[in-house]
């Protein structure tokens, strides 16, 4: 099997996880798909930059992060898309299973966090990375990982307790809560 | 922000995330056990962490757009990609909330795609009768390459999953509607079963991962080959196994 086939196989195998991560990070499934698609195209163009296939998840997330930050900058810190939480109230899209207000509030609160806070919560809680891996991936000391994570969880809890009073539309300014 | 018993917020988070060394873990655990406030704090952190996993985790089970798979395989020239519009945005956004509300495994089922999965699960559950069963003694799996290729009529090889701790233990060959199919059974050191079912594809391109009947299932299909992988494994483990298995089929 050629190197390019191995690369393609590894890429396809990781795409579902990248797509999931993107939806959670961006808070908007449509925008997430656009970002994943852009990231996929970029990854294919830059495939020679990936030296070890086992590093593909980290490499793809970095591409996705960069694309997302570009999007935020282009939109001046706010996106044109609606917050995904607003869709649950759409009259034509009633979902009977939406019986957990706590879950809905949680998603709203997650979407109201800063990019960096959401990112670190997802890297720990969804991607299940160690602090060391996160530090390496983000290029920051472990101490910063720990303090950022603690602040992110504190902020999330605060937003949940406030009942969403402070929640703003996606995507939230990058430098919040630094 | 050091708190009770000299334990600060960062350490409580590290405790929940399994990041404390053994010595510190013991002392933090003792402090938490003896302090209701600390216990509540830890519970809150654990709950929020678990909720991230429960709400967003099932999103991995969404089918990949076939265009993405074709793009990855063949490059841009042959693929017309489309951007999502408002309707797609609404539909896509709904997926998040279905997952968020249900706390349940998100099964991806379409009738045309279901058949190969069900056939594979029937084979795994011994509900279909093989035409031949080959027990595999410990040792290399390569000697069965010819058998496998002949059975399914494709130039495929028996993947070696040893790097992930799984050894080939059995090959079962089937004839279904005149076409050949095969199931490769692997077991790890804990005797957990991982199966790889393969046969000719219907020509569609597909990559799905989802949970069904207590198993994590990965369907990986190109224009020629259809594979269904199943095991009682985590999502991350399935990603690694699927990647290694699919690569090994043609390596």
Per-residue pLDDT in tens (0 to 9) along chain A, 178 residues:
566 778 888 899 899 999 999 989 988 888 889 999 999 999 999 888 888 888 999 999 999 999 888 887 776 654 434 444 443 433 333 333 334 677 778 888 998 899 999 999 999 999 999 999 999 999 999 999 999 999 999 999 999 887 654 444 333 223 332 2
User: What kind of fold does domain A85-178 have according to CATH?
Assistant: Arc Repressor Mutant, subunit A (1.10.10)
Three-state DSSP class for residue A14: helix
State whether B96 and A154 contact (CB < 8 Å). no
Alpha-carbon gap: A116 to the closest alpha carbon of chain B (Å): 16
The answer to whether A24 contacts chain B (CB < 8 Å) is yes
Nearest chain A residue to B84 by CA distance is: A30
Pick the CATH number of A1-81 from 3.30.559.10, 3.20.20.80, 1.10.1740.10, 1.10.606.20: 1.10.1740.10
Kindly state the helix (H) or strand (E) to which residue A79 belongs, with its residue range.
none
Q: ipTM value of the model?
A: 0.81
| Interface touch B76/A30, C-beta < 8 Å | no
Correct CATH for B108-250 of 3.30.200.100, 3.40.50.12160, 2.60.40.10, 3.30.1330.10: 3.30.200.100
Q: What are the residue boundaries of the structural domains of chain B, listed by start?
A: 4-55, 62-104, 108-250
Q: What is the dihedral of CA B96, B97, B103, B107, to 10 degrees?
A: -60
Domain ranges (residues) in chain A:
1-81, 85-178
Does this model's pTM top 0.95? My answer is: no
- Contact present, B225 and B156 (Cβ < 8 Å): yes
A80 touching B (Cβ < 8 Å):
no
Give the number of other CB atoms < 10 A from CB of residue A49.
9
Q: For B229, list phi and psi in degrees, rounded to 5.
A: -110, 140
What the block records as the tokens of B54 is 């429960």
Mutate to test the interface with A, among B59, B69, B196, B235 (most CBs of A within 10 A): B59
Cβ neighbours of B96 in A, within 8 Å: 23, 29, 84, 107
Helix ranges, chain B (H): 9-16, 22-33, 36-56, 66-74, 86-102, 111-124, 145-152, 235-250
Residues 6+ apart with CB under 8 A from A130: B19
B131 and A CB contact within 8 Å: no
């Amino acid at each position: 099997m050629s190197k390019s086939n191995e690369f393609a196989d590894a890429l396809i195998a990781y795409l579902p996880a990248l797509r999931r991560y993107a939806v959670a990070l961006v808070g908007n499934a449509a925008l997430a798909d656009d970002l994943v698609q852009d990231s996929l195209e970029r990854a294919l163009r830059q495939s020679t930059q990936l030296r070890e296939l086992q590093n593909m998840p980290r490499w793809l997330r970095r591409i996705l992060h960069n694309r997302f930050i570009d999007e935020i900058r282009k939109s001046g810190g706010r996106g044109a898309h609606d917050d995904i939480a607003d869709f649950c109230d759409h009259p034509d899209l009633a979902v009977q299973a939406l019986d957990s207000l706590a879950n809905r509030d949680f998603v709203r609160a997650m979407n109201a966090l800063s990019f960096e806070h959401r990112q670190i919560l997802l890297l720990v809680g969804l991607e299940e990375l160690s602090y060391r891996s996160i530090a390496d991936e983000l290029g920051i000391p472990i101490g910063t990982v720990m303090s950022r994570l603690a602040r992110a969880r504190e902020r999330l809890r605060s937003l949940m307790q406030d009942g969403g009073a402070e929640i703003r539309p996606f995507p939230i300014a990058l430098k919040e809560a630094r | 922000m050091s708190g009770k018993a000299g334990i600060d917020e960062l350490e409580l988070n590290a405790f929940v995330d399994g990041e404390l060394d053994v010595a510190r873990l013991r002392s933090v655990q003792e402090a938490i056990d003896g302090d209701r406030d600390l216990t509540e704090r830890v519970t809150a952190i654990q709950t929020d962490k678990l909720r991230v996993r429960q709400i967003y985790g099932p999103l991995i089970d969404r089918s990949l757009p076939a265009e993405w798979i074709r793009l990855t395989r063949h490059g841009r020239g042959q693929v017309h990609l489309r951007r999502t519009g408002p309707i797609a945005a609404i539909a896509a956004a709904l997926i998040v909330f279905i997952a968020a509300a249900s706390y349940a495994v998100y099964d991806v089922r379409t009738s045309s795609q279901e058949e190969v999965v069900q056939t594979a699960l029937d084979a795994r559950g011994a509900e279909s009768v093989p035409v031949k069963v080959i027990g595999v003694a410990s040792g290399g799996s390569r000697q069965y390459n010819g058998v496998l290729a002949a059975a399914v009529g494709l130039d495929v090889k028996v993947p070696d999953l040893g790097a992930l701790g799984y050894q080939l233990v059995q090959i079962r060959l089937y004839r279904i509607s005149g076409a050949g199919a095969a199931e490769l059974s692997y077991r790890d050191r804990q005797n957990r079963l991982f199966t790889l079912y393969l046969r000719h594809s219907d020509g569609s391109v597909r990559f799905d991962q989802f949970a069904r009947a207590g198993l994590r299932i990965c369907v990986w299909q190109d224009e020629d080959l259809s594979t269904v992988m199943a095991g009682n494994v985590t999502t991350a483990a399935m990603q690694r196994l699927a990647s290694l298995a699919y690569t090994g089929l043609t390596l």
